[in-house]
Structure 1
Amino acid sequence: MCDFDEQLKKLALNAQRHPLGTVERRQLVEQLLRLLSHSDQLVHPPVPAQLQGSYEEIYNIALQRLFQYLYEKIEHYKPERAGVLQWVNYLLKIRFPDAIKELTNDQKKNQLVRENLVIKHKLERKQRENTENYPVTAQDIIDYIKQDPQDVFRLTYIGNNAEANFRFIALKLVEGYKLDELAIMLDVNHNTLRSFYNRSRRKFASEIRKNLEI
């Protein structure tokens, strides 16, 4: 256990030495979270009985929020106060209520959204309604997602599966892949993938509109 704790501590302190936005920092935080996940020592907070069937999705949301926090604020870790495992488990527990709220809100909205709706279709519909107000093309949005200038689309992914990121999923959907095919390709639950994609698409819609001045 001491060796494991020391390994976690070295990763956290090493990540602190690299500025936000660097590849090294992201890789070290990913390695830290992956090591914790594979250790089976991360906490699994309880959820209401009616949400037991959605536990995996809730946990993945909480893990994603945890990764974002660690990536942005790893400097908040103070080895003199607690071990990394204790600190991370505390952070994971306090993110569960928000993850539950996010999922339940998402489930309500999903009733009004087709599971294979992509940004390209949404923009084309707006263009038909008022071409002058929406001069940006669907290809502009696709190119923006590909470029991912802030690196946020690639860093938003399911649980600790970095391959299942929003950038990859969105671009594959534009190519014509179905969510069922992507779920198999990425080895993730279909409902988890659908929920993650719809939630992320809504989250990034305003950012894309702002940066493209739609």
Structure 2
Amino acid sequence: MPRGVAIPELRQQLFTAAERVILRDGPARLSGRAVTTEAGVAAGLLYAHFSDLDDFLAAYAVDRSFTVIAAAKRLPERAGTGDIAANLGDAVLAVPRDTLAALARLLVLRPELAARVHDVLGDDTALDAIEQAAAAYLAAERRLGRLPETTDPAAVALAVVGALHHLVLTAADLDDRLRPAITALVGSTANERSGNG
């Protein structure tokens, strides 16, 4: 890149580069130089826009958390339509996987960043938002009579997010493993409903 040439969307370019480094090399290998090399920009550009690596990583975590939160908040709109487990699976898996995987891995290694995300976004971190949206969706389905009254939406949502978090950190086959887990969790409540009816 020639000197003095403005780079449109530089922040997003750097965030995307950081994501690729995290996914390929792991968050422990993340450095300012690794990010700028991956982005194909001069090493000093990161520090021209952020005070230090921690400032950059906090901005990345806030940006990506916001993306995940926006995707998750659309889930409750599906209440009353389609298959409950499929709706929940579709919504959870619609969250950008690479983003969620990179963010989760980074926050596990650098838990202090979570506090900085909370400072900006309040209680809505990425996984919290998915859990809250799933609980709201399941509660709406229960109100509509599509889940039994004994269903605990918060508990099912927590189990779904726990499975998601585990798979994001450990497995590449997210679709193949998460959908059956969601179906089992939601199916157990549906089976309880049909057994009681």
The answer, yes or no, to whether TM exceeds 0.5 is no
Q: Normalising by the residue count of structure 1, what TM-score does the alignment of the two structures yield?
A: 0.26
Higher fraction of helix: 2
Q: Normalising by the residue count of structure 2, what TM-score does the alignment of the two structures yield?
A: 0.28
